[in-house]
Amino acid sequence: MTRAAAVDLHKPKVEYFDLAALTNTDPKGNVRQVEEYRLEPFGLYMARPAPGHPNFHYLESWFLPGLSLRATIFHFTQQERWDQDYYLDIGEFGPDGDGHWRSVDHYLDILVRTGRTSVLLDVDELLAAHAAGYLDAAAAERAVNVATTAIEGIASHGHSFENWLAAQGITLDWKQPPKPVSN
pLDDT digits (tens, 9 = 90+) for 107-119: 999 999 999 999 9
- Containing domain of residue 43, as a range? 14-167
* 179 assigned to some structural domain: no
* 180 assigned to some structural domain: no
> pLDDT-derived band of residue 6, with 50, 70 and 90 as boundaries?
confident
Burial pattern 150-177, b for ≥16 Cβ within 10 A else e, equals bbebbeeeebbbbebbeeeebebeeeee
* 1 assigned to some structural domain: no
pTM of the model: 0.90
Q: Are 90 and 12 in contact (CB under 8 A)?
A: no
How many separate domains does the chain show?
1
* 162 assigned to some structural domain: yes
CATH number of the CATH domain containing 80: 2.40.380.10
